[in-house]
């Protein structure tokens, strides 16, 4: 059963709602019109070690926060589809579908996945794969628990993730699109991108739904 058929069946039993405000929307809609106008597109740029290109679709701010909570609290709703489809638009506009062979989601540890019930990055990757017609492969596994990245400094984040992932299959020569939901410093993406390249990937492109911008401080 393909991705869109599954969505149609689910929509018969669970009406589609805007992941930001919870208003009912059409089955193929991402957000309601009002929330679409409020959400801020990401217009900056960022670099991830090990990756040739990096993309984000939204700024992480209070307007999009309800959808983030929905994605991470174990219910998900329409958020993964909305985020994945929007990110797919950015990737298509930048010609990325012709530069990749497979889509790889950033993994959760097994205990975290069981607790939440799903890996949100996988669900986003699945939506992207359906939009750009590329396969999703869980080629990376998280092999140990780590502290929450948001509680750590930049240097602590790097140490926290050291040797936390392993490649689970032959990716030699593959051009990979690495997907995550949110990035701040890029430590997680960098750790995995470098690992993928060391494991034989020809190229890695990173893409996230939201980029957290560092707050500017006064002088």
* Residue-wise pLDDT tens digits, 202-216: 999 999 999 998 764
% the chain with pLDDT above 70: 89
Indicate the pLDDT class of residue 73, thresholds 50, 70 and 90. Answer: confident
Give mean pLDDT, residues 98-113: 94
The closest of 207, 210, 205, 208 to 98, measured between CA atoms, is 205
22 vs 33: CA distance, rounded Å: 12
Give mean pLDDT, residues 183-209: 96
116 vs 99: CA distance, rounded Å: 32
Residue 77: pLDDT above 60? yes
Residue 194: pLDDT above 50? yes
Q: What is the CA radius of gyration of the chain?
A: 17
106 vs 189: CA distance, rounded Å: 8
Residue 74: pLDDT above 70? no
The closest of 157, 168, 209 to 49, measured between CA atoms, is 157
Give mean pLDDT, residues 61-74: 87
Indicate the pLDDT class of residue 218, thresholds 50, 70 and 90. Answer: very low
Please give the mean pLDDT across all residues of the chain.
89
Minimum mean pLDDT among 8-17, 30-39, 158-167: which range? 8-17
Q: What is the enclosing helix (H) or strand (E) of 208?
A: strand 203-211
Question: Residue 26's pLDDT is what?
Answer: 86
Residue 76: pLDDT above 80? no
């Amino acid at each position: 059963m393909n991705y869109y058929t599954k969505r149609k069946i689910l929509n018969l039993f669970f009406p589609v709602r805007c992941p930001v405000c919870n208003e009912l929307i059409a089955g193929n809609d991402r957000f309601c019109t009002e929330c679409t106008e409020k959400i801020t597109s990401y217009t900056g740029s960022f670099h991830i070690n090990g990756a040739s290109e990096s993309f984000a679709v939204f700024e992480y701010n209070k307007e999009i926060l309800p959808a983030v909570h929905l994605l991470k609290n174990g219910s998900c709703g329409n958020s993964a589809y909305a985020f994945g489809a929007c990110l797919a638009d950015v990737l298509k506009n930048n010609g990325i579908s012709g530069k990749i062979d497979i889509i790889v989601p950033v993994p959760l540890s097994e205990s975290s996945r069981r607790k939440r019930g799903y890996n949100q990055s996988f669900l986003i990757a699945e939506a992207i794969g359906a939009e750009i017609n590329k396969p999703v492969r869980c080629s990376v596994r998280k092999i140990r628990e780590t502290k929450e990245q948001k509680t750590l400094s930049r240097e602590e984040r790097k140490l926290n993730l050291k040797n936390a992932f392993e490649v689970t299959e032959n990716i030699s020569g593959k051009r990979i699109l690495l997907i995550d939901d949110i990035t701040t410093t890029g430590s997680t993406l960098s750790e995995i991108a470098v690992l993928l390249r060391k494991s034989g990937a020809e190229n890695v492109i990173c893409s996230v739904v939201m980029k957290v911008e560092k707050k500017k401080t006064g002088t």
